[in-house]
Amino acid sequence: MIFLRILVAGTAALFLCQCSSFEKEWTQSVANYQSGKVNAPFGPWQGDWSTITNNHTGGLRAIVKPSLKKDHYTFRYHATWASIFQGSYSVDFPGKKQGDYYIIEGDKSLGIFGNFGHKAIVTNSSFEAKYSNDKGDLGSFTLKRP
C-alpha cells in the first residue's frame, strides 16, 4: 500500500512539473508572438483536437520552435482529455515552406499510446493537421493564434 501511494505521489508530481513548465513556456511564447518576435510556423497556437474514430475531443495548445535538426521543427503540445486529464509532450518533425505556407509531416512513438503521426499545413494564422496512430485512431486538430 505504501508503494502504491509513493507511485501515485511521484507520478502526480512529475505530471504537475511538466504542466507548470509548459505554462511558463506558453506565457513567454505568447508574449514573444504578441510583440512580433516570432512568425509562422513558430510561436504559440491554440485550439481543439478530435478523434474521428472514437469521438474523443479536447483542448490543444502548441509551441513551435526551431529544432536542432536541419529542416525540422520542435512542437511542444499540451492537450486536455475529458476536461479532467491533461498532458504535454514534444516532437520534432521535418517541414518545408511552400509559398506562403509550411507542410510539416512526421511520426513519433508515444509509448503506450502507440506511434503518432501528423501532416499539417501551417500559415501565418492557422494550423490545420490530420493525425493517426498505429492503433487505428484518426483525427484532426485546428489551431489559431492566441
Q: What mean pLDDT is reported for the chain?
A: 86
- Residues 137 and 41: their CA atoms lie apart, in Å, by 26
Least confident of 12-16, 67-71, 96-100: 12-16
Measured in whole angstroms, the distance separating CA 29 from the mean position of its chain's CA atoms is 14
What percentage of the chain exceeds 90 in pLDDT?
72
Q: Which three cell numbers stand for residue 117?
A: 503521426
The answer to whether 104 and 41 have CB atoms below 8 angstroms apart is yes
- Residues 103 and 33: their CA atoms lie apart, in Å, by 21
Confidence of residue 110 (pLDDT cuts 50, 70, 90): confident
> What average pLDDT score do residues 80-104 get?
92
- Maximum C-alpha span of the chain: 59
Q: Which three cell numbers stand for residue 24?
A: 511558463
Q: Which three cell numbers stand for residue 145?
A: 493564434
The answer to whether 69 and 92 have CB atoms below 8 angstroms apart is yes
> What average pLDDT score do residues 31-57 get?
95
pLDDT above 60: residue 37 = yes
Query: What CA–CA distances, in Å, run from 21 to 25, 29, 51?
Result: 6, 12, 27
Q: Which domains does the chain have, with CATH numbers?
A: 2-144 (2.40.128.120)
| Residue range 118-144, pLDDT digits in tens | 999 999 999 999 999 888 889 999 999
